[in-house]
Amino acid sequence: MTSDDTRRERSTPPAAAADIPARYSRQVLFEGLGAEGQARLIAARAVLVGCGALGTVQASLLARAGVGTLRIIDRDFVEESNLQRQILFDEQDVRDVLPKAVAAERKLRAVNSLVQVEGVVDDLNPSTIGRLLDGFDLILDATDNFDARFLINDYAVKNGVPWVYGACVGSYGLTFPVLPGETACLRCVFESAPPAGLSPSCDTAGVLGPIVGIIASLQCAEAIKILAGRRQAITRKMQVIDIWEGRQDLIDLPPRDPQCPCCGRGVYEYLQGAAGSDSVRLCGRDSVQINRRDGAKLDLAEVARRLGPLAKVEVNRFLLRADIDAYRLTVFADGRAIIGGTTDASVARSLYARYIGT
């Protein structure tokens, strides 16, 4: 569906108030939304990129709010150290080594069966982004790295889809919506990503649950306004919060920059990143992700048999986990792997080649 189709569809008359399920009564009572706004939410389609700290809060709020179709994309699996802030997950998910997108989908179905929830275990990169994001009214940023955010920005500006940036580290977080053609895009505000090591990361600075909850909630507030068609209510500012010092700033966004490579000149450098890099260091994880470029499916049972004599191997429907020496290899059926125990891409690549294949 093109974005033009999406717009036309959203402008069709919404359902009558009587058709709105009673479970949304408190939201319908809210003057800013009403039955008409709720009907728009029910007809809306939102996609969440990432289902970690920000994503679990967003997914929970939007599913409860009745956003009719939610796709949740995540490349990772649930670990014990996630539970401090990733509010959809529990200890059983850790024991089951569930992919986050799968665990989230299960939880959300139990939360609101009226909503279509689709968890997708995949990595967002230039070659997957069209397939993963096409056909949605709104994109929510719940990623943990700059590359993914700039990639979302390119896609959103190019296709005229609104998105909501949000990011946190330590006790600090910030968010603003990007309305293509109307407001500054991410590259108008922060033109480029910091080189590795120049930006504090959750690797070094940690993160508190409450700041993530606040930023994700602010993102959802904007999402609800956008999806309900309440454009005048959108907060067209950057909200910057530090919960350790109790500071909140509302900062004017810059005007759109005619020289902005993305929204000014229409050069989508991140989308053109072709296959991108075959390995990515994962934030705060002592891990490297290896992407398999050919996209060939792996037979996880076969890999498990092969590694059986060498390693402690666990396998479920979604992934295989092998503990070899000091490393933990988690391999998904699409051939993607997360190599734990190193942040060195070359070490990770050689482990992948040795144990999984080339």
Q: How many CA atoms lie within 13 A of 238 on its CB side?
A: 15
Between 34-43 and 209-227, two packed helices, what is the crossing angle to 10 degrees? Answer: 100
* 28 contributes a contact to Zn ion by CB under 5 A: no
Which residue among 15, 83, 111, 240 contacts other proteins (CB under 8 A)?
A: 240
Using CA atoms of 138, 142, 145, 150 in order, give the dihedral in degrees to the nearest 10.
10
Smallest gap from Cβ 127 to Zn ion, in A, equals 24
- Identity of the residue, 260 or 329, whose beta carbon is nearer to Zn ion in the bound complex: 260
- Amino acid 158 reads K
Contact call for residues 289 and 218 (beta carbons, < 8 A) = no
- Identity of the residue, 131 or 265, whose beta carbon is nearer to Zn ion in the bound complex: 265
- Cα–Cα distance between 280 and 345 in angstroms, integer? 7
* 52 contributes a contact to other proteins by CB under 8 A: yes
* 208 contributes a contact to other proteins by CB under 8 A: no
* 263 contributes a contact to Zn ion by CB under 5 A: yes
- Cα–Cα distance between 241 and 239 in angstroms, integer? 7
Q: DSSP labels for 173-198?
A: EEEEEE-TTTS--HHHHS-SPPPTTS
Measured from the Cβ of residue 171, the count of other Cβ atoms closer than 10 Å reads 18
- Identity of the residue, 206 or 254, whose beta carbon is nearer to Zn ion in the bound complex: 254
* 45 contributes a contact to Zn ion by CB under 5 A: no
Which residue among 98, 108, 174, 223 contacts other proteins (CB under 8 A)?
A: 174
Smallest gap from Cβ 218 to Zn ion, in A, equals 21
Query: Tokens for 131?
Result: 């397939």
* 214 contributes a contact to other proteins by CB under 8 A: no
Which of 222, 158, 210 is CA-nearest to residue 186?
A: 158
Which residue among 98, 260, 322, 348 contacts Zn ion (CB under 5 A)?
A: 260
Which residue among 44, 124, 188, 280 contacts Zn ion (CB under 5 A)?
A: 188
Residues near other proteins (CB under 8 A): 50, 52-55, 141-146, 149, 166-174, 189-194, 198-202, 205, 207, 212, 215, 238, 240, 242, 244-245, 249, 251-252, 254-255, 283-284
Residues that bind Zn ion (CB under 5 A): 185, 187-188, 260, 262-263
